Amino acid sequence: MELVTPGIGLIFWMTLSFGLVLFILRKFAWRPILSTIKEREAYIAGSIRDSKRIQRELAELDTTKEKLLVQAREKADELLQQAKREGEIVINKAQQQAREEASKIIEAAKNSIHAERKAAEREIRKQIVNLTVDMTRRVLQDEFSDVGKNNQYVEKLLEDIQLN
Amino acid sequence: MEVNGKPGNKLFRVCIYRVFSALLVTFLILFTTNVFAEASAAEQKKKGEFDAGKVIIDHILDAYDWHIADYGDTHITIPLPVILLYEGKWHFFFSHKFHHGKDAYKGFRIAADGPKKGRIIRVMDDGITPDPNASFILDLSITKNVFSIFISVSLLCWLLITVARSYTHCGPRRAPRGLSAFLEPLILFVRDDIAGSAIPKDKVDKFLPYLLSLFFFIFFNNLLGLVPFFPGGANVTGSISVTLTLSLFTFMTLHLFANKEYWKHIFNTPGVPVWLKFPIPLMPIIELVGIFVKPVVLTLRLFANITAGHMIILGFVSLIFVLGASGTALGFAISPLSVIFIIFMNFLELLVAFIQAYVFTFFSAIFFGMAVPDEHH
């Protein structure tokens, strides 16, 4: 019977002790332990979230990098092509200019040669005429002793020749 | 620090393992030998007659002194304070004045038989006859169980506050180590599997400190009850007063936090035909009885489980002496078998220590969950 009969003394001390345990543990044990565990869980969850985000960002960065590389390569190719084209243009222009210059020089030379030739021809003709006149005068010295008349005649002859 | 700390730490751990295994072995050896010693003393007293029932009951019941061992005819006991309030007067003295129940002191003695057997009663001047006119004695003695509760409670507080300090010291950014690493799975078990599964999420925090304290108190005392020598050995959680107090705490906590839905559920159970509530309030009566059945069930389950476990172990020990009384050779022959069973039972009781702590806490949590249902259903 004693086994199943509660004793007042034991109940009293048990209530006191357990009440004290509840109070002490609640204040000095469970509060710090539970809050630390909660904080740790939040920290771990946050870290996992962060690492996932970073991974995602890294993947994004990777694709961006690839894209940038491709773009850069394209741009470089384009630049190279453009440079080539521009170079060709410049060369062409230079060649054109040179050709033009050369043709101009040739033209000028031609002109000057032409003019020289004309002058030379004229000179030669004059000489020929003079020689002829001289010859003629020497031949016809007597007949044409009058110098004035001669000159008139020479002029007339010149005119004729020119008209020819 | 870190580099030097590692090998030292490992050494420390190895030491701890050694100490633990040594303790386990000593525990098993001492358990058997200690009970042998006590049982043999009882055997001597009866001169060959071995009363197994008396030995078992004596080990399970509370006592006014803490019996440690017998050496020959000398009882080695720790006298505990007796505190009595009788007819408005306080009496303080130590229990050795009773000489293990043989003598009366100041007109009080421990009843040897009768309905108050084992309790302190008032006796006549001859020191033997119970006083028929005695009024009520308020007995607030520090008995074996009370003393054991004091010890276990101090140990528990010290242990958990040490752990709590390491938590505050290390902060949330560090994995638990040492004692905290040992206790954290238990704490998380109570939080997630006991409280978390039985109580609505937003109300768990209200009950969690209570449930944790309850779990660790029961678990700790169950384990101490299995240790056969001094700081343990008292049958705290196998004492009906203790389990009754624990379930009364649950009962009080439950009704302190119970919300309107809970009371509505009791007095006007939803989803039940009206003829069950009116004119004869059948359901309310059943529900009201249920309120009081809950703590009673909690009380009896823990008490019966722990007491039964202790009884079985003591029964196997007694078996040796019961058979030994009819023939020494028979006693020796049966002892290896008994010891094997005792070891087996001790391991089983380790399991029961945990399971019963779990069950008590889990049912408390379920009752709390019923006390604070969501308002909207």
The pLDDT value recorded for residue B212 is 95
The pLDDT value recorded for residue A4 is 81
pLDDT digits (tens, 9 = 90+) for A103-144: 999 999 989 888 888 888 888 888 888 888 777 777 776 665
Q: Examine residue B335 and state whether it is found in any structural domain, yes or no.
A: yes
Whole-prediction pTM: 0.74
Nearest to A36 among B140, B167, B248 (CB): B167
Query: If residue B346 lies in a helix (H) or strand (E), which one and from where to where?
Result: helix B328-371
In this structure, are B151 and B137 located in the same domain? no
Q: Examine residue B22 and state whether it is found in any structural domain, yes or no.
A: no
Give whichever of A58-67, B124-133, B260-269, B277-286 has the largest mean pLDDT. Answer: A58-67
The closest alpha carbon to B164, from B224, B223, B216, B207, belongs to: B216
Q: Which of B112, B142, B172 is the last residue of a domain?
A: B142
Instruction: Over range A89-95, report the average pLDDT.
Output: 93
Q: Examine residue B41 and state whether it is found in any structural domain, yes or no.
A: no
Q: Does B195 touch chain A (CB under 8 A)?
A: no
Q: Examine residue B121 and state whether it is found in any structural domain, yes or no.
A: yes
The C-alpha atoms of residue B238 and residue B226 are separated, in whole angstroms, by 11
Q: Which of A26-30, A142-146, B169-173, B195-199 has the lowest mean pLDDT?
A: A142-146
CB contact under 8 A, A18 and B117: no
**What are the chain A neighbours of B172 within 8 Å (beta carbons)?**
36-37, 39-40, 42-43
Q: Examine residue B16 and state whether it is found in any structural domain, yes or no.
A: no
In this structure, are B344 and B308 located in the same domain? yes
pLDDT tier, B23 (very low <50, low <70, confident <90, very high otherwise): low
The pLDDT value recorded for residue B15 is 56
What does DSSP say about strands B137-139 and B81-86: parallel, antiparallel, or unpaired? antiparallel
Q: pLDDT at residue A1 above 60?
A: no
CB contact under 8 A, B164 and A2: no
Q: pLDDT at residue B1 above 50?
A: no
The contact set of A with B (CB < 8 A) is: 1-15, 17-22, 24-26, 28-34, 36-37, 39-40, 42-43
In this structure, are B267 and B127 located in the same domain? no
The pLDDT value recorded for residue A44 is 93
Q: Does B273 touch chain A (CB under 8 A)?
A: no
In this structure, are B126 and B153 located in the same domain? no
- Rounded to the nearest integer, the mean pLDDT of chain B is 84
In this structure, are B186 and B280 located in the same domain? yes
Tell me the CB-side half-sphere exposure of residue B291, using CA atoms within 13 A. 17
Q: Are B63 and B38 in contact (CB under 8 A)?
A: no
Q: Which of A140-144, B131-135, B142-146, B346-350 has the lowest mean pLDDT?
A: A140-144
In this structure, are B123 and B155 located in the same domain? no
Residue B223, phi then psi, degrees to nearest 5: -65, -45
In this structure, are B243 and B308 located in the same domain? yes
In this structure, are B156 and B91 located in the same domain? no
The C-alpha atoms of residue A4 and residue B300 are separated, in whole angstroms, by 9
The closest alpha carbon to B309, from B210, B222, B216, belongs to: B222
Rg, Å, chain B Cα set: 25
Spell out the long-range contacts of B74-83 with Cβ–Cβ below 8 A and sequence spacing 24 or more.
B75/B41, B75/B100, B78/B147, B78/B230, B80/B141, B80/B142, B80/B143, B80/B144, B80/B146, B80/B147, B81/B141, B81/B142, B82/B108, B82/B120, B82/B141, B82/B142, B83/A9, B83/B139, B83/B140, B83/B141, B83/B142
Q: Which of B142, B163, B188 is the last residue of a domain?
A: B142
Instruction: Over range B11-35, report the average pLDDT.
Output: 57
In this structure, are B283 and B170 located in the same domain? yes
In this structure, are B96 and B192 located in the same domain? no
Range of the domain at B158: 145-371
Instruction: Over range B50-65, report the average pLDDT.
Output: 84
CB contact under 8 A, A7 and B119: yes
In this structure, are B238 and B284 located in the same domain? yes
Instruction: Over range A17-46, report the average pLDDT.
Output: 93
CB contact under 8 A, B245 and A18: yes
State the nearest Cα–Cα gap between B307 and chain A, in angstroms.
9
Domain map (residue ranges) of chain A: 8-143
CB contact under 8 A, A36 and B307: no
Q: Which of B115, B142, B169 is the last residue of a domain?
A: B142
Q: Which residue has the higher pLDDT, B349 or B6?
A: B349
Count of domains in chain B? Answer: 2
Q: Examine residue B310 and state whether it is found in any structural domain, yes or no.
A: yes
Instruction: Over range A4-13, report the average pLDDT.
Output: 89
